[in-house]
Structure formats: C-alpha cells, structure tokens
Structure 1
Amino acid sequence: MDILVISPEAGNWTSPSSLTTAVNRMADAFLRTGVRALTISPFYKTKIKDPENYECIFKGKEWLHGRSFEVYRSKNDALHTYIYNEEFFNRPFVYGPPNDIPYGDNHLRFAFLASAALAYASAIRFRCMAIIGHEWGGALAGALATTVYQEDFESVPFFFFVHNITYDFHVSSSEIENIGLPRKNYNMDGYEFWGKVSLLKAGICYAHKVIFPSPGYRDAMLYTNLSGGLSGFLNHNADKLIGIQFGVSYEFWNFNKENRPIKDAKKNARKELAEKYGADYSNKLLMYVHLDAEAGNTSETLATILADVTKENVFVLVGCSQNHPDWNYYNECARQDPKSMQVIEFDETFTDVEKLRSILAASDIMFAGNLREPSTSILLKSLACGCIPVTGRNVGVASMLTDYTFDTAAAANAFLVDDANAPHLMLPRIKDALNVYQTDTADWDKVVVNAYGGFHYEWDKTISKYLLIFGELGL
C-alpha cells in the first residue's frame, strides 16, 4: 500500500516540534508495516538539520496557480520529501513570529504546499491508496484532490489528522477560489466560520475520516466546550470522527538499557538525578509536575494544594521554563522549602527530551492536572519510565489506564480521579500513592512493573489501527 502524507511540519529538524515528531514517528511505523508513505512537507532551510546535504530531485509547476516548485531530498533520509518555493518557504518562521500575528498569506502558502505535493505525486505516478493531511496546514489537500486534481485523485480517500483543534487559520471568503475550495460548501455545515473560511473545517468537510490523537480527545471535542465553537459542526460530522491513541517510541523512552530489575533501575536513576541537581530526595515519594504549554490547569491545581503536599513525605519536582507565568512563584516556594521542593529549568519548547527522560525515570509519580495535550503523550512517557500518573479519568489516554485500588493492585498502573482539575480530589490520591509507597511496598512494586512493562503503546500499535480503518474502506 502507498500513502501520500502532506504536513506543514515534518522531517529532520534541528529542534523538532510536537507535530514534526508525531509525523516522523508515523512515517517510521508505516515503513515497518510495509506501507510506503511519501511524506511531503515544506523545505524550511532555517529548521532543517544540515540543509546543505539536501539536493533538488525534481522541478515542476503546481496546477492551482501554475507556481513553480522544487522537490528536495537527502540521501540519508529517504522517508521525507520537501517542497521548496522561495516566496513561500524562505522565511524565518513556519507560520509567523512567535506570539505575534501569523503571516497573512498562510492560506496561499499551504494551499500551494498541498497543490505542489499532489502535482509531484502525479508527475512521478505515485498511485496512492490514501491521502493524509495533517493539521490545517495540510487540510486543503482533500478539496484539491476532488477539484484541480480530480483526474488523478478524486477516488482516493482523504484522511484528515487533527492534532490540536485550537490551531486553525481563518481567511476572508474573497480568497475561496484562490485556495481551490468549491464555493458551494461555504456555509455553516461546510467550511464557513463566523463569516470567514476555516481551513480546519475545510479539512474536516472534505475528509472521509477525521483522526484525533486519542479517544479521550475525540470525546472531549464532541461532549465538552473545548472545541472552540465547533461542537455543532463536529457533532454533525460525528460519524467521521475517530480517536486513536498516538504512541511513543519506547526505544527512546526506555531508560533501562541494561535491563535491570525496574526497582533497581529507578533507584539508580534517582541517585543520578540527585547528584546532578544537588538535591536530597532521601526516602520521600518523588513527584514530578510537568508545566509545559499543554499542562492546562495543572499549575493552578498544584498551587492550591502545594502547602498540604509538602507537609507529607513528598518531594516535589517542577519542570518549568522561565517564561511560565508561575516560574517565580515555584522558585520562591523551592527557596523557602528546599528539603521538599525543587524547580528544574527547561527551555520554552521543552526540547531537551533526555532531561525529561532522566526526571521521569527518577520520579515515582507524575502529577498531571487537566492536561490540554490532545494525545497526552506525556502520560505514556511517564509510564514508559515507571513513573505512575496521578490524573483524571477523562484525560486523553487515562481512559485506557487501570486505577489503583486494593482490589486492582495486580493490574493497576495509575491513580485516577473523576476530575483532575479538582484539588480536593487530587490531594487524597497523592496521599493514597504515598501510603502504598510507604506501607505496602509489594503493591507499589506491582504498580511500577505494570506501568513500565505492562503498558506499552508503541507507534506500531497506532499504525495498525489506522490500517484497520483503511481496510474497512476497502483500501
């Protein structure tokens, strides 16, 4: 089976974004199953590692506006192909300056990406069985396949992957024809959004299936107000929407390369972390709190109960960047109580994954409040390091976890609450974890083993579920 994959971000970046990482891992996993996925993204010279190692392998013109494009590939990376156009992709940022107004022509840039990708696939006679578009930057491929490129791709199913529904690009209705959309679908049930064109809605509108990064996120889009005004439209298209849990790369997140008993491996990881950061964790329950951009209300929930937590035999590790609004607060708390708390600095993008792995490997539990990360991959990473999540039943992957009780100890791998945004529910579960850790070491060891060795959700499992969906459509 051959698949055409179009994404605004992918490939060998010097500092991969979460979208880049997910698309790359999918490409790897597709290949392992024997599927050839032609993954196409823009050639960002400011993002790609060692751009001088790439060569132009094709030159052509896309069919929407007849603009010229070049196709680049590295001899060392056959999985990824890149589209280049000086006007659209020779810019310092992908979508626009951080925390500023996006580029005003983003709709034209990513319509061009989709059009050039389809033109290239047509030119090399890449007869794909499916087309995948990632995020709003790959959304227009579905429409273009049925209009400008209908001769080659009209019968090919389009699968739209929504990694985070909060990301969208809106443009004036005067631009509809410029980006290849049929005007007949400019309505509430199509791609219209408050008098403008929503590229996200366009992707959903022309998709055969819409894939969300976890079952919990799909349900949240349908049954809560998190969908940003799209709940009616999403419910109208509910039959298209599928939630499939994104995986993680256990080859990387497994810190125990020597295959020691997990109890010994974590003890050693704790010792190394304490030496690195000059801390004394002694025999306390080590609790990690990850405050990145997707942490949701985790910080607010923690702040409410922090004084109560530090009164217990718990040491709190906070991973945070200096740009986080609560950076000063947590550093001051740690300064006042260094025997119970420490802040470990990350950069704003949290790209130092080796640092994160070392922290999770050393930690006993992870405090995860009302996470906004759609796939909640941080929980999978935590489990892969034998670090037990304390989180809500409605948080992404948590619906697949087993809560600890006296009766479920043999299978448990998490401490769950009904609402991870509720401090009065989270605090007792931390105390429950502490009690098991201190007084029932046999049960605690079981929970750690269940997390580390019993719950593996590799990308291969994710891809196998995608292939089942393709199979149901007769592909």
Structure 2
Amino acid sequence: MKILFLASEIYPLIKTGGLADVAGALPVALRKKGHDVKLIMPAYQNILEKVAPIQKTINLGNPFNRGDLLLLETHIPESDTPIWLLQCQALFEREDGPYVDNNGIDYEDNHIRFAALSWAAATLSLHGNLIGWQADILHLNDWQTGLAAAYLKSWKVKHIPIVTTVHNLRYNGSFEMSKFADTHLSAELLDMHGMEFYGRFSALKAGLVYSDAITTVSPTYAKEILTSEYGDGLDGTLRSMQDKLHGILNGVDYNQWSPEKDTIIEENYSLNTLDKKQTNKLALLRENSLPEDLSQPIFGVVSRLTEQKGLDLLLEAMPALLNKGARLVLLGSGDKHLESAYLKLQEDYPQQVAIRVGYSEDYSHRLQAGVDALLIPSRFEPCGLTQLYALKYGTLPIVRQTGGLADTVFEGGDKPNGFVFHDADVPSLEAAMVRCYDSFTSEDASFEEKQRNAMSYDFSWDSVTDQWIELYESLTRE
C-alpha cells in the first residue's frame, strides 16, 4: 500500500513528545514490511540541515496569503524514509518551539499554520500527479493535522480513506469562531455533528468526525476516552463513532532504545549481563555529583512537569523515600511552579536529588540506564513511551493503572515487571514506591526477577505493525 503519513513533528528532525517518536518509527516499520510510506511535516527552522539534499521543489501557491507553500522532497538520512517538507517562512520558521513561544504561549496564528499543513496533505492525497505518487491511505496524527479531513469533506469529492490517530485527546486544537474564515473551509462543517466544539471549532474533532477510522495509542485509552472523566468534552462524539475506534499500542524502536546497542550509555548490557547496569548507575551518580552508593535505589523521572503526569503527587510522596535513603534524578520541564518546587527539593536534599530542567535526548538515555525505577504517576496516559524504554533497560516502572500504562506494566500475574497503583493520590503513589524500595533493599531476588521479566517483554514496532496493516487493508477493501 501507499500511505501518506502526516505529522507535525518527527524524530530525529524535531521532538516535543511521544508523537515524534511514533512518527519517526511506525513509517520505518511499515516500510520494512514492504509498504510505500511518505511523510509530510513542516519545514521548521533549521530542519533542512537535518535531512538529505532537496531533490525536488513543488510550488503549491499562496492559498493562505502568507507566502507560497513549497513542498521540498528529501529523505531522513538515518532511516532513508522519504519526506515532503512544507516550507513557508512566515508560517513555520520561528526561533522558538513548533507550537508555542519561549513563554509557553500558543502562537496566535496556529490555526493558519496547521491549516496550511493540512491543506497541503489533503491536496496531495487527491492529486498524486503533483508528486508522481498516489496514496491509498491518508494517516493523520493529532489536532495539528485534523483539518486535512475537513478539507477533503468540504471539497465534496471522492477521496482515499483517512485514519486519525489520537496521541492525546486533551490537546484538541480548538479556536475561536472568529478565526474560522482564515481556514477557507465551508461553514457547512460548523455544527454539533461536525467540527463545532462548545462555541469554538476544533481541528481534532474534524479529524475524528471526518475520518474512516480513529485509533488511539493503547487499547485501554480507547475505552477510557468514551467516558466523561477522560473524554475531555469529546466522549459523546466518540461514543457515537465507537464502530470506527481502535486501540493499537505504540511500539518502541529498539535500535534507538536498547541497552545492548545504545552508544550513549556508559556500558552496554543485556538480560545476560544485567550486573553491568551497575556501571551505568555509578556513572549517573558521578555525573550528578551524588554519593556513589549502590546500596540505595535511584528513582528516575523523564517527563513534562505537569499535573497530568502526576508530578505534583510525587513532590509530596518523595520526602518519605528520601528519608529512607533513596535518591531522585529528574529530567523535565513544564509548569513553572513545579520546576521551582523540584529545584527546591534539590536544595533540601543536595546529596540525594539531582534536577535537570529542560530536555536532553542523550541524558534521557543515560538516566534510563542508570536509575533503578522510573516514576510515571500519571492521572491519565494515552500510551506512554518512557515506561516501554525503561522495561528494556531493566528499569522498573512505577505507574498508575491508566491508559497504556495499564496495558504494559504489571505488578502481579505470571510475569510482573513493575509496580502499579490505582488511585491518583499521594498515599497510593507512596505505597507503591515503598513496595519498590523494600523489594530493592531486601535480600531476596524479587527485584532482579522483575528486572529480568521487564527486559524480556517485546514492545517492538515489529510486534504491532501487522495490526496497522490489517486496519489499512480493511479500509481499502471497503
């Protein structure tokens, strides 16, 4: 099949979250199975430095009065995956991030920026002659691409099947109605059964309503978003479309995330050489100028610092573990009050806590290899990728039983691989952390047994790609 895959971020070109990891890995996995996948993404500032030389340029005109939209044909060097970059200096070349400025404020023209991206993809999916390649499937990801489905609906022409993947329903891309005219979409789409959303218009809702299939990034999250607790105002819409909703778990690229192959960590190790993980633990302690004591566990965090991720709960639960002798190493950024609170925790426990505000891909690898347990106390979690990375590194996840965390981390059963709690409150999280601490410091082999279980699970893209192929084929048969 020929699959046109549209995303607003793709690793290794740009990354703000798990979407980039998925968009960078799933197309590669599909291509390995023989399918012809091409990507589309904006040409953000400095992106051209990270791709192969441009092979072809196509001018799509100036439909949004912000300058010509240029499609640049190239490929991602690491994977040789073909990609079309949508270039428009006024829309995409910003000094700050892809969606927000350095103060965390959404760009005022995001509705136009991602309307342009969506319009370009919709145009290519209809007119393959422009690039000499006609897609069989259009695969959209999150709100930034949802308007592509709206354009195809608005143009009232027969088009290829559309799949919309929801990576996080909380971000629905809703805008004031006064901005709708800027999209050049038909006002016929603005009703409660279309893209109207509580007096605004939602790009994600457009992707949901006008697609042929909706997927979420885990089976449990697909069920959770049908409820008012997790549905973020879209649960009613989703319940009316349950027949086209599918939960397919994200995979992991083990070429990027495996302690056997990782070129960034201090020493490679595997299931059979698990003792070498201690070398990485020592290296992490040294890097953070913490006492080199291997007898106490290190708890790790790699996360956006938000209440969604339960990082406010961890602030309250952590002192009890620190007072037992545990350590905390954290990498993340987000809410300013949480950043400040964690830096204050570091001040209070300078020999046990190391906080790094920001994000570093390399450091996240060293952290995963060096800590004993990874904390993910999320209030909701569509899939979660850090726990999948942690499992491969023999780093035991401590998770709340929600979304993809519930699908991948188990404290009981035949093959326990972590620690699980149910309620989003401090006592439940603290109790799970104490269970982990006690297991680590006990003289039995329960902690190492869990580590070996964790490393033996297979969450590779190869293990889930067939589900995607089956879904695509079912749509092209209809």
Q: TM-score, normalised by structure 2?
A: 0.86
1:94-153 deviations in Å (ceiling 9; x for gaps): 345244654444333333323323434342342222111122221122233344382xxx
For 2:286, which of 272, 275, 290 is the aligned residue?
Answer: 275
Q: Quick check: 1:130 aligned with 2:137? A: yes
Greater displacement, 295-304 / 378-387: 295-304
> Among the aligned pairs, what percent are the same residue?
21
List alignment gaps of at least 5 residues for structure 1: none
Task: For residue 367 of structure 1, report the CA deviation from its aligned partner.
Answer: 2.3
1:286-336 deviations in Å (ceiling 9; x for gaps): 222345245635332223233322232533333344974234444444444
Check 1:218–1:129 CA distance in 2 against 1; reply closer, same or farther (3 A cut): same
Whole-angstrom distance in 1 between the partners of 2:306 and 2:232: 16
Equivalent residues of 1:57, 1:72 under 8 A apart: yes
Q: Quick check: 1:265 aligned with 2:276? A: yes
Greater displacement, 379-388 / 133-142: 133-142
Find the residue that maps to 1:207 and give its secondary structure.
Answer: coil
Structure 1 equivalent of residue 71 of structure 2: 71
Structure 2 equivalent of residue 32 of structure 1: 32
Check 1:358–1:178 CA distance in 2 against 1; reply closer, same or farther (3 A cut): closer
Find the residue that maps to 1:126 and give its secondary structure.
Answer: coil
Whole-angstrom distance in 1 between the partners of 2:437 and 2:100: 46
Amino acid at match of 1:473: L
Structure 2 equivalent of residue 438 of structure 1: 441
Structure 1 equivalent of residue 317 of structure 2: 305
Find the residue that maps to 1:319 and give its secondary structure.
Answer: strand
Find the residue that maps to 1:376 and give its secondary structure.
Answer: coil
Whole-angstrom distance in 2 between the partners of 1:324 and 1:39: 35
Whole-angstrom distance in 1 between the partners of 2:323 and 2:390: 25
Structure 2 equivalent of residue 403 of structure 1: 411
For 1:429, which of 402, 427, 432 is the aligned residue?
Answer: 432
Whole-angstrom distance in 2 between the partners of 1:271 and 1:113: 46
Structure 1 equivalent of residue 152 of structure 2: 145
Give the count of matched residue pairs: 461
Whole-angstrom distance in 2 between the partners of 1:87 and 1:317: 40
Structure 2 equivalent of residue 113 of structure 1: 117
Q: Quick check: 1:81 aligned with 2:84? A: yes
Structure 2 equivalent of residue 179 of structure 1: 183
For 1:357, which of 357, 362, 365 is the aligned residue?
Answer: 365
Structure 1 equivalent of residue 387 of structure 2: 379
Check 1:25–1:435 CA distance in 2 against 1; reply closer, same or farther (3 A cut): same
1:60-83 deviations in Å (ceiling 9; x for gaps): 436977984322133645521112
Whole-angstrom distance in 1 between the partners of 2:432 and 2:14: 40
Structure 1 equivalent of residue 160 of structure 2: 156
Structure 2 equivalent of residue 288 of structure 1: 300
Structure 1 equivalent of residue 246 of structure 2: 242
Whole-angstrom distance in 1 between the partners of 2:311 and 2:106: 28
1:330-367 deviations in Å (ceiling 9; x for gaps): 4444444445x2123141xx2x1221221221222222
Equivalent residues of 1:382, 1:389 under 8 A apart: yes
Check 1:256–1:265 CA distance in 2 against 1; reply closer, same or farther (3 A cut): farther
Greater displacement, 327-336 / 377-386: 327-336
Whole-angstrom distance in 2 between the partners of 1:170 and 1:306: 36
Q: Quick check: 1:200 aligned with 2:212? A: no
Structure 2 equivalent of residue 367 of structure 1: 375
Amino acid at match of 1:39: L
Find the residue that maps to 1:433 and give its secondary structure.
Answer: helix
Task: For residue 229 of structure 1, report the CA deviation from its aligned partner.
Answer: 2.0
Structure 2 equivalent of residue 233 of structure 1: 237
Structure 1 equivalent of residue 2 of structure 2: 2
Q: Quick check: 1:415 aligned with 2:419? A: yes
Task: For residue 457 of structure 1, report the CA deviation from its aligned partner.
Answer: 0.9
Check 1:295–1:37 CA distance in 2 against 1; reply closer, same or farther (3 A cut): farther
Whole-angstrom distance in 1 between the partners of 2:228 and 2:249: 19
Task: For residue 2 of structure 1, report the CA deviation from its aligned partner.
Answer: 0.4
Structure 2 equivalent of residue 458 of structure 1: 460
Amino acid at match of 1:145: L
Structure 2 equivalent of residue 389 of structure 1: 397
Structure 2 equivalent of residue 215 of structure 1: 219
Equivalent residues of 2:248, 2:467 under 8 A apart: yes
Amino acid at match of 1:345: R
Structure 1 equivalent of residue 264 of structure 2: none
Whole-angstrom distance in 2 between the partners of 1:412 and 1:216: 19
Amino acid at match of 1:468: E
Whole-angstrom distance in 1 between the partners of 2:14 and 2:143: 23
Equivalent residues of 1:59, 1:68 under 8 A apart: no
Whole-angstrom distance in 1 between the partners of 2:472 and 2:51: 37
Check 1:433–1:169 CA distance in 2 against 1; reply closer, same or farther (3 A cut): closer
Whole-angstrom distance in 1 between the partners of 2:362 and 2:90: 36
Amino acid at match of 1:35: H
Whole-angstrom distance in 2 between the partners of 1:428 and 1:389: 14
Greater displacement, 353-362 / 300-309: 300-309
Task: For residue 208 of structure 1, report the CA deviation from its aligned partner.
Answer: 0.8
Find the residue that maps to 2:38 and give its secondary structure.
Answer: strand
Equivalent residues of 1:147, 1:180 under 8 A apart: no
Greater displacement, 380-389 / 120-129: 120-129
Task: For residue 275 of structure 1, report the CA deviation from its aligned partner.
Answer: 2.4
Amino acid at match of 2:111: H
Equivalent residues of 2:225, 2:238 under 8 A apart: yes
Whole-angstrom distance in 2 between the partners of 1:63 and 1:144: 16
